[in-house]
Amino acid sequence: MNRISFKTDLCKGCGLCVGACPKGLISLDGSALNAKGYHPAQITDMASCIACAMCATMCPDVIITVEKGCEE
C-alpha cells in the first residue's frame, strides 16, 4: 500500500496539491485549523492513491511525503 503524509503544522492551505492529484484524493480539511490558522491538506482515500507524487511535486513548502509500496 502507498502512504502519503503531510506536515500539517506547516501547510498554508494553498490548494496546489488538491489540483495536482490526478485521482482527486486530496482536499483541504475544512474541519481543522493548523497552528498558522490554515485548513491543512489531507488525503481522503489512502487506498486509492497511486503514489504518483504529483502532490509533493507541486507543494511549494515541501510538506508532503509520498511512500510507494509501504507495509502497514
- pTM for the predicted model, two decimal places: 0.88
Higher pLDDT, 50 or 69: 50
Specify the pLDDT at position 1: 85
Using an 8 Å Cβ cutoff, are 15 and 64 in contact? no
Query: Could you give the domains of the chain?
Result: 3-67 (3.30.70.20)
Q: What is the pLDDT of residues 5-63, one digit of tens each?
A: 999 999 999 999 999 999 999 999 999 999 999 999 999 999 999 999 999 999 999 99
Specify the pLDDT at position 26: 98
Alpha carbon distance 63, 15 (integer Å) = 12
Specify the pLDDT at position 28: 97
